[in-house]
Amino acid sequence: MIDAPADSLDAAVAAVRQHTDATPDLVLILGSGLGALADEIEDAVAIPTEDIPGYPRSTVAGHAGRLVFGQFEGKSVLVVQGRVHLYEGHAPSVLGFPVRLAHALGAQRLLVTNAAGGIDPTMGPGTLMFITDHLNLAFVSPMSGPVREGEPRWPDLAEPYNEAWLDRAEALALQHGIPTRRGAYLWTTGPSYETPAEIRFFRTIGADAVGMSTVPEVIQATALGMSTLGISAITNAAAGLNAEPLNHEEVMEVGRQVRGRFATLVRAIVAES
Ligand code: HPA
């Protein structure tokens, strides 16, 4: 594992402040294939994450990551294009860094999205699923390690996804004629996709969709008192549910296919939040 860098949130805030004095209301984390939404931000100020002290270094070649500040639907937002995954080798304690930084800059809300495999067989590729709850099958936490100032030792996770926000978002989807589902998201470490036996097990324990992100960000946000809304774009049937082998290109391609509906939905949610 990569050692956790020195905990330099003050230095990170100062680095951001050299580029912008924005105080984002909302932080938006975009999943695989859904990143194009960042191009629709107005008056955008993009900061490479490698210019931010303490930001976990991306291990994906050519994808340094960016934080994009600007206006979206009349709101001040921060779009995170530098998501940090456990499978890149980072320590669990740094997985919440983007959320901690957003919070330190003023964000009180997290809108988190991801690409996920559908475990519920009625959730095929292209389904947009509001996350009602999650299962942490990576068994690690961004809160592990010494207690950080302003954070609880044992954060409560009784309502990690804000139910009132979810109800409103669902109503907006209906108004825009966008079909959505609700379900529980299960986090695995990856980077391998699951085995059919693992998917059978996950279904038995209550998971509707599976992926390799989101949960650490939501734990971090909840611990900081932020409200969270989560949306999974189902990009494939989970392992064993159809004959096709899984691959990342398929995940990206379905992400691109849902882009229009997804962008409309996210716009509507941000506009009214
Ligand atoms: N499993 C894990 N992560 C994923 C999947 C999957 O089937 N699809 C997209 N991300």
Q: How far is the CA of 15 from the centre of ligand 1 (A)?
A: 34
Q: If you count DSSP H runs as helices and E runs as strands, how many of each does the chain have, helices first?
A: 7, 9
118 Cβ closer than 6 Å to some ligand 1 atom? no
Helix-, strand-, coil-residue percentages of the chain, each rounded to 5: 30, 25, 45
Amino acid identity of 155? P
pTM over 0.85: yes
What's residue 176's pLDDT?
Answer: 95
Greater confidence (137 vs 84) lies with: 137
Residue 185 appears among annotated catalytic residues: no
**Is a pLDDT exceeding 80 seen at residue 4?**
no
Pocket test for ligand 1, best of 30, 129, 199, 210 (most atoms within 8 A of CB): 210
DSSP H stretches of helix in the chain: 9-17, 97-104, 163-175, 196-204, 215-223, 248-257, 259-272
What's residue 154's pLDDT?
Answer: 93
172 HSE (CA, 13 A, CB side): 20
As a whole number, mean pLDDT of residues 110-130 equals 96
Q: Are 116 and 209 in contact, with CB atoms under 8 Å apart?
A: yes
Q: Are strands 109-118 and 227-237 parallel, antiparallel or unpaired?
A: parallel
What's residue 5's pLDDT?
Answer: 45
Nearest CA-CA partner of 9 in 143, 145, 101, 107? 101
Greater confidence (45 vs 259) lies with: 45
> Which of 82-91, 153-162, 232-241 holds the top average pLDDT?
153-162
**Is a pLDDT exceeding 90 seen at residue 172?**
yes
> Which residue has a Cα nearest atom 10 of ligand 1?
116
What's residue 102's pLDDT?
Answer: 97
Mean pLDDT rounded to a whole number for the chain: 92
In angstroms, rounded to a whole number, what is the distance separating the alpha carbons of residues 164 and 135?
21
Give the position, in ligand 1's atom list, of the atom nearest the Cα of 239.
Answer: 7
Q: How far is the CA of 134 from the centre of ligand 1 (A)?
A: 15
- Architecture (CATH level 2) of domain 8-272: 3-Layer(aba) Sandwich (3.40)
What's residue 227's pLDDT?
Answer: 98
Nearest CA-CA partner of 68 in 56, 87, 52? 52
Greater confidence (3 vs 76) lies with: 76
Residue 115 appears among annotated catalytic residues: yes
Q: Give 13-42 pLDDT, tens digit per residue.
A: 999 999 999 999 999 998 877 778 888 999
| Neighbouring residues of 153: CB distance < 8 A, sequence distance ≥ 6 | 143, 147
Please spell the DSSP secondary structure of 13-59, one letter per residue. Answer: HHHHHTT-----SEEEE--TT-GGGGGG-EEEEEEEGGGSTTPPPP-
**Is a pLDDT exceeding 50 seen at residue 50?**
yes
Pocket test for ligand 1, best of 128, 187, 194, 247 (most atoms within 8 A of CB): 194
In angstroms, rounded to a whole number, what is the distance separating the alpha carbons of residues 196 and 213?
20
β-pair partners for 113:
231
What's residue 208's pLDDT?
Answer: 98
**Is a pLDDT exceeding 90 seen at residue 239?**
no
**Is a pLDDT exceeding 90 seen at residue 107?**
yes
What's residue 82's pLDDT?
Answer: 76
Q: Are 32 and 4 in contact, with CB atoms under 8 Å apart?
A: no
Domains of the chain by residue range: 8-272
What's residue 38's pLDDT?
Answer: 87
As a whole number, mean pLDDT of residues 146-160 equals 93
